[in-house]
């Protein structure tokens, strides 16, 4: 196995230009499980953790190499809440937000927040940079729009983030758990609301009919909150797998939606 350990972004791009099919390695918390259990044998690896430019968080641009441990103590409330639910302290000190995007698991804990705020993903190669909205980048379960020779540089948050924002996740227990369902809700003081859910569809799911309904309610009644939960449960498209059933995930989506909305009122 060949490994390149560049120390700056130019070095990463050069390494990928020379070997576009190289496997990108950030924290390793997903890749090493594939190596150990999935029989994955990368012929060549480009390791990213020495690249300071990727581990930089400046304002609304979060570098792909920023770890969950940093995000957990960062200034963005719902993203910090999501970060705290990622794995364990050991996983959070290694795993990165770029890794969540690269793996593109439907259960990626950071993804519902990115979907709820309509974040963008910045990619780079020797040919230049391009910026894709989250739903252009995440194309399916464990599928994304990253092309050979490209690296995820980071995430761009919108200029304005609603102050009211909440994330919650359901799993078999509190610590060290992969989500059965998760959700992130953001709400403006005037009522405009967005909600994205994880683990209940091939990519994060925005419940747009529910958003439209509740955004028109500046101070929702209990009946409106219940209707919001019902609509969200209708809009998700969960499957049954070894972690849970489609029925439970649909039910849980409605409960999470109501709960997060109540916390934002």
Partner 1 sequence: MIRLTVNGIEHTAEPAGAESLLATLRDRLGLAGSKDACEQGECGSCSVIMDGELVCSCLVMAADADGSEITTVEGLAPAGELHPVQRALVEAHGVQCGYCTPGFAVAAAHLFEREPSPSADDIKEALSGNICRCTGYGAILRALTGLAGEEP
Whose Cβ is closer to partner 1: residue 32's or residue 127's? 32
Which of the stretches 58-66, 91-99, 219-227, 235-243 binds partner 1 when contact is defined by CB under 8 A?
91-99
Rule CB under 8 A: is residue 223 a binding residue for partner 1? Answer: no
Least separation in angstroms between residue 247's CB and partner 1 is 27
Rule CB under 8 A: is residue 6 a binding residue for partner 1? Answer: no
Give the residue, chosen from 69, 195, 197, 200, that forms a contact with partner 1 under the rule CB under 8 A.
Answer: 69
The maximal CA–CA distance of the chain, rounded, in angstroms, is 61
Q: Is 259 helix (H, G, I), strand (E, B) or coil?
A: helix
Least separation in angstroms between residue 181's CB and partner 1 is 20
The Cα 153–Cα 120 span in angstroms is 11
Give the residue, chosen from 6, 87, 191, 202, that forms a contact with partner 1 under the rule CB under 8 A.
Answer: 87
Rule CB under 8 A: is residue 181 a binding residue for partner 1? Answer: no
Q: Give the phi and the psi of residue 238 in degrees, each rounded to 5.
A: -80, 160
Least separation in angstroms between residue 35's CB and partner 1 is 5
How many of the other CB atoms lie within 10 Å of CB of 260? 26
Whose Cβ is closer to partner 1: residue 1's or residue 223's? 1
Q: Which residues of 181-206 are buried (b: 16+ CB within 10 A; e: fewer)?
A: bbbbbbbeeeeebbbbbbbbbebbbb
In the stretch 18-57, what mask flags binding to partner 1 with x, by CB under 8 A?
-------x-xxx-xxx-xxx--xxx--x-x-x--------
Whose Cβ is closer to partner 1: residue 11's or residue 191's? 11
Within 158-177, the residues that bind partner 1 by CB under 8 A are 174-176
Least separation in angstroms between residue 224's CB and partner 1 is 36
The answer to whether 44 and 6 are in contact (CB under 8 A) is no
> Could you identify the residue written with the tokens 């350990």?
5
How many of the other CB atoms lie within 10 Å of CB of 21? 10
How many of the other CB atoms lie within 10 Å of CB of 179? 28
Whose Cβ is closer to partner 1: residue 85's or residue 120's? 85
Question: DSSP letters of 136-157?
Answer: HHEEETTEE-PPTT-EEEEEE-
Whose Cβ is closer to partner 1: residue 11's or residue 28's? 28
Whose Cβ is closer to partner 1: residue 160's or residue 173's? 173
* 206-210 long-range contacts, CB within 8 A, separation 24+: 206/115, 206/116, 206/135, 207/231, 207/232, 207/235, 207/236, 207/257, 208/235, 209/234, 209/235, 210/235, 210/257
Rule CB under 8 A: is residue 142 a binding residue for partner 1? Answer: no
Number of residues that bind partner 1 (CB under 8 A): 30
Q: Which residues bind partner 1 (CB under 8 A)?
A: 1, 3, 5, 25, 27-29, 31-33, 35-37, 40-42, 45, 47, 49, 69, 87-91, 93-94, 174-176
């Amino acid at each position: 196995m060949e490994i390149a350990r560049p120390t700056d972004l130019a070095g990463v791009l050069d390494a990928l230009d020379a070997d576009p099919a190289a496997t990108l390695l950030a924290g390793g918390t997903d890749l090493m499980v594939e190596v150990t259990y999935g029989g994955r044998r990368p012929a060549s690896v480009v390791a990213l953790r020495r690249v300071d430019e990727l581990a930089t968080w400046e304002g609304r641009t979060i570098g792909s190499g920023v770890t969950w441990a940093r995000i957990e103590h960062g200034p963005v409330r719902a993203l910090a809440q999501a970060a705290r639910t990622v794995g364990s302290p050991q996983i959070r000190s290694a795993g990165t937000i770029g890794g969540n995007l690269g793996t593109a698991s439907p259960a990626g804990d950071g993804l519902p927040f990115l979907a709820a705020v309509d974040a963008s993903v910045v990619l780079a190669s020797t040919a230049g940079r391009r910026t894709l909205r989250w739903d252009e980048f995440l194309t399916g379960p464990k599928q994304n729009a990253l092309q050979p020779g490209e690296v995820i540089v980071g995430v761009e948050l919108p200029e304005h983030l609603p102050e009211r924002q909440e994330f919650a996740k359901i799993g078999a227990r509190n610590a060290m758990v992969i989500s059965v369902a998760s959700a992130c809700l953001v709400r403006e003081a005037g009522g405009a609301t967005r909600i994205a859910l994880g683990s209940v569809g091939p990519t994060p799911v925005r419940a747009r009919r529910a958003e439209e309904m509740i955004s028109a309610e500046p101070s929702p009644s209990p009946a409106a909150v219940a209707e919001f939960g019902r609509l969200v449960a209708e809009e998700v498209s969960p499957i049954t797998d070894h972690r849970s059933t489609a029925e439970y995930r649909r039910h849980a989506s409605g409960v999470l939606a109501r709960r997060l909305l109540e916390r934002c009122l």
